């Protein structure tokens, strides 16, 4: 069965993982988030009951 032959696919997998880990990932991690998380506690929204006109 040719799909079980790891000859070309193993090399492609290792090459792609090395490319991602050593080249692409460090470049992505250097970006600064445009919306950094804040230390403020989340404010609870004020909810008021809705009075339905037909109830």
Low-confidence ranges of the chain (pLDDT < 50): none
Q: How far is CA 35 from the centre of its chain?
A: 15
Kindly report the pTM of this predicted structure.
0.46
Q: What is the CA radius of gyration of the chain?
A: 26
Maximum distance among all Cα pairs of the chain, rounded to whole angstroms: 72
Quick one: pLDDT at residue 18? Answer: 92
Q: Where are the beta strands (DSSP E) in 6-50?
A: none
């Amino acid at each position: 069965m040719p799909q079980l032959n790891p000859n070309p696919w193993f090399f492609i997998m290792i090459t792609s993982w090395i490319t991602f880990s050593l080249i692409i990932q460090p470049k992505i991690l250097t970006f600064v988030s445009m919306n950094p998380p804040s230390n403020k506690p989340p404010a609870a929204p004020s909810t008021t009951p809705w009075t339905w006109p037909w109830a």
